[in-house]
Amino acid sequence: MSSQTTPPKIREKYSPKLFVGREDKVQEALKRIELLRQGSERRRVSVYLGETAIGKTWLLKTIEHKLSQPTYADKYITHWFNLPLQSEINGFDEVQETRKVMLRFANEALRQQMPEETLAGLTLPGLSRRIMEEITRILTAGKWLVLFLDSVFEAPWRFLELFEEYLLGPLAIKPEVIILMSGRGRLFPWATPELRFTSEEDEIKLQKFELPQTEEQLKRAESDLGDLLKYSELLHQYSNGVPGISYWLAEDQEFREWLAKDKESRETTKPGTFRQIMLALLQPLGVENQEHLLKYFEALCVLRSFDDDRIMAMVQAHPDLHQELSQDDLYKRTVEIRRQLLYESLATYNEAKSVYELDKSLKTLAIAHLKQNNYPLWLTLHKTALELYEDWAKKYPRTASLWLDEAAYHQSELPSKNSPQTS
């Protein structure tokens, strides 16, 4: 199928041999798990943080895979929780979803220990009690339990409240239970003290890949992606070193053909790959929301940070957005946009700077999409931001240096007056 019409299939199947670039994090996790078992370590909960497609899931999968090997398998029981996403809230029943997750845990982690018929008809408190009784028996016999929670903060928080109360919280209290999480966006305010992150060692932030790591990705790929090694610098530039985006770009036939063109041809052709990958990443939000949010990403992606005033300015500059809003509704819609971006973990709040920031991976794709497919809009948005910050520098002299710095950034992104692109 053409990538022009169908979003690319996001790689879902984990493959140990394709894992690169995080071996040190895997060894650190395994060492910490062993130290916990020996009593030399006390912090039993860790969270891996990072933007979309940075490699959080594959890191957890690799740790889980290592623990399934003979060296560890006799000592540890592992369980991977499949949690609901924020975007799956239409008709969402947090009680039934919590029950489903608890039953799956009982059937998989405690397999052959708890006959399914003994769990039928139990309330959440009753189900919790039966599970914890069996867990206590297993842990007393010498086994340790390692739990994996991927994309935890993207789950509906009303679900997380019940999940913590009836399963995760009681498990976290047990000294033989180790919990590894991953997520992005706002951290959930756990009520259980053992689930709170109290040090930098508990919160592990994953960084983008350097060029050699991206090249290693291509070398290990199952298909013929190794042929792209001669274009690795360009691929790394467009993926911004985000591992997932590097894979998806490399696997897209249209993008590969575009990379193989000479520089002049690349500048005159317009691959749809960037937009299609964005749509694929936004797919859980539903088709209508995908297309709508994509426009707001276009409007905001040129900014290094934003707030409500900046959202309003950039929305008014986007031709597909300002027409749908009356002036009276603009502020109300601005607040809704900000809330939705935060709710879907597509933006985060930078407390140190008191501003909001878009998800860096999606921002990278939005920038590449605009520059390649709608350069006039790219220019318009940068000019709008430049004029806004220059105006703020005059209006607010106490913070003028901050706004002039932002203005200088946008000026640097615009072509010079003598550039052919300005004619």
Per the CB < 8 A criterion, the answer to whether 381 and 299 are in contact is yes
CA atoms of 396 and 406, how far apart (whole Å) = 14
DSSP state of 86: G
Nearest by Cα to 358 from 197, 185, 155: 185
| pLDDT confidence of residue 12 | 54
Helix (H) / strand (E) element for 46: namely strand 45-49
Model confidence band, residue 224 (pLDDT cutoffs 50, 70, 90): low
362 contact partners, CB below 8 Å, separation of at least 6: 52, 278, 281, 282, 297, 346
* Longest distance between any two alpha carbons in the chain, whole Å: 78
| pLDDT confidence of residue 380 | 95
- Dig out the tokens for 306 from the structure: 């934003």
| Strand-pair partners of 358 | 347
| pLDDT confidence of residue 2 | 37
- Whether 132 has a pLDDT exceeding 70, the answer reads yes
Q: Residue 183, class by beta-carbon neighbours within 10 Å (0-12 exposed, 13-18 middle, 19+ buried)?
A: buried
Strand duo 347-350 + 203-205: pairing: unpaired
Q: Residue 200, class by beta-carbon neighbours within 10 Å (0-12 exposed, 13-18 middle, 19+ buried)?
A: exposed
CA atoms of 407 and 401, how far apart (whole Å) = 10
Query: Tokens 């004029």 label which residue?
Result: 387
Three-class SS state of 295 = helix
Higher pLDDT, 174 or 280: 174
Q: Dihedral sign, CA of 125, 131, 132, 133?
A: positive
Q: What is the pLDDT of residues 326-356, one digit of tens each?
A: 666 778 888 888 887 887 778 888 888 889 9
What value does the mean pLDDT of the chain take? 85
| pLDDT confidence of residue 227 | 73
| pLDDT confidence of residue 284 | 60
CA atoms of 212 and 206, how far apart (whole Å) = 16
b/e for 82-118, b at 16 or more Cβ within 10 A?
ebbebbbeeeeebeebbbebbbebbeebbeeebeeee
| pLDDT confidence of residue 286 | 54
Question: CA triplet 135, 141, 143: central angle to 5 degrees?
Answer: 70
| Strand-pair partners of 76 | 144
Q: Dihedral sign, CA of 357, 358, 359, 361?
A: negative
Per-position DSSP letters for 101-160, written without gaps between them? HHHHHHHHTTTTTS-GGGTTT--HHHHHHHHHHHHHHHHHTT-EEEEEETTGGGS-HHHH
Q: What is the pLDDT of residues 370-379, one digit of tens each?
A: 888 889 999 9
CA atoms of 225 and 278, how far apart (whole Å) = 21
CA atoms of 104 and 115, how far apart (whole Å) = 12
Mean pLDDT is highest, among 178-182, 227-231, 293-297, for: 178-182
| pLDDT confidence of residue 225 | 60
| pLDDT confidence of residue 7 | 46
- Dig out the tokens for 118 from the structure: 């003994």
Q: What is the pLDDT of residues 26-82, one digit of tens each?
A: 999 999 999 999 988 788 999 999 888 899 999 999 999 999 999 898 899 999 999
Q: What is the pLDDT of residues 259-268, one digit of tens each?
A: 888 888 887 7
